[in-house]
Structure 1
Amino acid sequence: MQIGVLTETAPYERRVALTPESAGRLIAAGHSVYVQSGAGRAADEDDDAFREAGAMIARTPEEILGNIDLLTGVGQLDQQTAAKLTPGTAVVGLASPKEGRGPAGVLVDRHATFFALEQLPRITRAQSMDALSSQAMVAGYRAGLVAAERLPRFFPLLMTAAGTVPPARVLVLGAGVAGLQAIATAKRLGAVVEAHDVRDSAPEEVRSLGARFLTLDVETQTSGSGGYAREQSSDALSRQRKALAPYVAAADAVITTAAVPGKPAPLLVTADMVEKMRPGSVVVDLAADNPHGGNCELSRPGEDVRHHGVLIHGGRNVPSELAGHASRLYGANMAAFVLAMCRDGVLLSTPEEVAADEIAAACCVLLKGEFR
């Protein structure tokens, strides 16, 4: 196949869909890769590195869009780019087109196929393709660093001639991939870490990292689709917030990572809870980018908000803040997916082929212009 990589155009997006390493895997399998000049620059990958891997460099998107079978991407395509695709082109990316929104209508008109990596099933065969998990790991690590940077106190216990400095207390809400990485990062920095998640599998995972799991008098639940928590009722969330309130008040830093795919992020930290925290404390909300609001009532995506002496940091496309490693992981996921979806070097393209493959069936949003 002829595979294309463009410079990402979404605001705050610094990642690239394929790195030289992952492009090289596809080239070694017999595919051709065309990369827009400068596409990897924000992720510290220059054109020469792509050339050395065997990719061809194009000066403009137009040189690529009219001559490829497959376009790889990170964020959702804009309408102008989608309109330049050759009819029948396949697209693989994270932000799936939704009917009636964005470029969806254009992709339908172009008889395009779209595979959405966020719909990947959580099965053993798909682990190497799991872009949501790899990017959540990056975000969780970054959240731990942001909390340490913004907190005007030490994270670790320090014994000095001037006296002993107690360790910071960090509370992590949500113990999925991002939450567990935030816990591990805060622990490595020396903080005392507590965490909570409503999933019944969370206590063992939290304790395995040396953190204390908060056992609250609230309902637990088995993991939903893909291992994620399911959406809670308003009553259950209210009881959870009430139970969490004293722990939030006692924390020096609160990191929130709770998310339910396709749903609003659960509101876990209210303005009233923030007002009971000590001045100088920090809240890092990884869910702030959710269009319906984040885990903290006061967070704003990409902004630091101060309220009653507490700093609330709202995450915005957090993996892009570590674009180099985020792109390396994402590119590996992308290459694994493309290679797995090929038969005799060609992407699955018929309803029967897609339906017969568990991964393809889960990820295929559009097939030759028709929603599935």
Structure 2
Amino acid sequence: MKIASVSENLEIEKRIAITPEIAKKYISFGLEVSLIENYAAHLGINDSEYSDLGVMISKDEKEIISNADVITQLNLPSDDKCFLIKENKTLIGILNPYDNEDKLKNLVKKNINVLSLELLPRITRAQSMDVLSSQANLAGYKAVIESFANFKKAIPMMMTAAGTIPAAKVLVVGAGVAGLQAIATAKRMGAIVFATDVRMASKEQVESLGGKFLSVEGSENLETEGGYAKEASDDFKKKQEELLSETLKKIDIVICTALIPGKKAPVIIKEDMINNMKSGSIIYDLAAIQGGNTAHTKVDEVVDKNSVKIMGERNILNKLPISASNLYAKNVFNFISNLYDTENKKININLDDEIIEKTLIK
């Protein structure tokens, strides 16, 4: 069986789906691996690092895709590349089924097995394949680093002969995987950390990391069966706004991570809240690509609103592409290991397997 990957659009995606370490695992698994020339050159990984392992390197993208049994990518390939995928072959990636519904259905009509990894169920057996968690973990870390780098004051409390510098106060909005890593990172760097989330189950996790959980009085537990946040009621939103308005007056840095799968990100930090924040404060919005958690977030721009900087990038993981690729490639390998029928040496779409059933686009 042949597994392949071709270059992403490097203007928007610098991560790769097959690292040398993982290519070696596929080959030891009995699979043939094919990659496009200079596949990982932008990460400082030469083609020789792959070819020395037995990977086939080709200049012909059409040949690679046409001959592959499995194509693994980060994002949904362009239309011309998708056109080259043959019937009964398999495409795996973070394919964004919410925005690419029509394109994915066209692939399904061609009898192509399309598996989108962000649809993985939140079950123990799928943890090693969970791309959203592995990537969000890095995103939460990097959001803190980026915001601290743009903050004009020291982060930890410093006691000197000339006086004491107080510790920076950080608020993390949304205590999912990205939020929890943001809390841990900010705490390690000496900040005083607060956090809020619509899921009451997050309180214990936040406090275990040394953060203070801000809970809305009479909170309802807004958590889906799959472990994701769901949309809050109008009454909850009003109470949350009142709590945030008061809290934000004393906060230096805000990390926003609140997302609802398949929907526009909820606007949590309103204009009047930003106007009441301290001059020089920073907001880093990880939800920017889905509209943002603030009233003024713009993708790939730093917005200055009354001396408060609001930052949000299309893909923050492009700033950690090697680490992100290492984790992503391992997730995909674990996923394919579950798909692969070793006895018959082919992909087995077993719909009795919850992992396959949930990720398969129908």
The TM-score with structure 2 as length reference comes to 0.95
Map 1:316-355 onto structure 2 (within 5 A). 316-344=314-342, 345-349=345-349, 353=350, 355=351
Task: From the superposition, tell whether residues 222 and 84 of structure 1 become closer, same or farther in structure 2 (CA, over 3 Å).
Answer: same
Map 1:247-326 onto structure 2 (within 5 A). 247-290=247-290, 293-326=291-324
Aligned 8 A contact 2:297 2:310 in 1: yes
- The CA deviation string for residues 186-226 of structure 1, in whole angstroms up to 9 with x for no partner, is 11111111111111211110011111111222523153143
Mapped pair 1:163 → 2:163: yes
Task: From the superposition, tell whether residues 46 and 115 of structure 1 become closer, same or farther in structure 2 (CA, over 3 Å).
Answer: same
Q: Secondary structure at the match of 1:217?
A: coil
1:229 to partner: Cα distance: 1.1
Aligned 8 A contact 1:201 1:222 in 2: no
Counterpart residue type for residue 176 of structure 2: G
Q: Which moved more, 1:129-138 or 1:71-80?
A: 71-80
Higher relative contact order (CA 8 A, sep 6+): 1
- Partner of 2:137 in structure 1? 137
Aligned 8 A contact 1:259 1:266 in 2: yes
Q: Secondary structure at the match of 1:91?
A: strand
- Partner of 2:104 in structure 1? 104
Aligned 8 A contact 1:168 1:192 in 2: yes
- C-alpha distance in structure 2 between counterparts of 1:302 and 1:234, whole Å: 31
1:161 to partner: Cα distance: 2.8
1:53 to partner: Cα distance: 3.1
- C-alpha distance in structure 1 between counterparts of 2:296 and 2:114, whole Å: 36
- Partner of 1:363 in structure 2? 359
1:239 to partner: Cα distance: 2.5
Q: CA RMSD in A?
A: 1.7
- C-alpha distance in structure 2 between counterparts of 1:233 and 1:270, whole Å: 17
- Partner of 2:147 in structure 1? 147
- Partner of 1:368 in structure 2? none
- C-alpha distance in structure 1 between counterparts of 2:279 and 2:320, whole Å: 29
- C-alpha distance in structure 2 between counterparts of 1:237 and 1:348, whole Å: 45
- The CA deviation string for residues 310-334 of structure 1, in whole angstroms up to 9 with x for no partner, is 0000132112220000000000000
The TM-score with structure 1 as length reference comes to 0.92
- Partner of 2:87 in structure 1? 87
Counterpart residue type for residue 203 of structure 2: P
- The CA deviation string for residues 222-271 of structure 1, in whole angstroms up to 9 with x for no partner, is 53143111122344323312221111221000001011111221211011
Q: Secondary structure at the match of 1:203?
A: helix
Q: Secondary structure at the match of 1:324?
A: helix
- C-alpha distance in structure 1 between counterparts of 2:8 and 2:180, whole Å: 29
- Partner of 1:178 in structure 2? 178
Q: Secondary structure at the match of 2:239?
A: helix
Aligned 8 A contact 1:283 1:312 in 2: yes
- Partner of 2:2 in structure 1? 2
- C-alpha distance in structure 1 between counterparts of 2:162 and 2:333, whole Å: 54
- C-alpha distance in structure 1 between counterparts of 2:234 and 2:314, whole Å: 26
- Partner of 2:63 in structure 1? 63
Aligned 8 A contact 2:216 2:239 in 1: no
- The CA deviation string for residues 284-324 of structure 1, in whole angstroms up to 9 with x for no partner, is 0000111xx11111111111100000000013211222000
Identity of aligned residues (%): 38
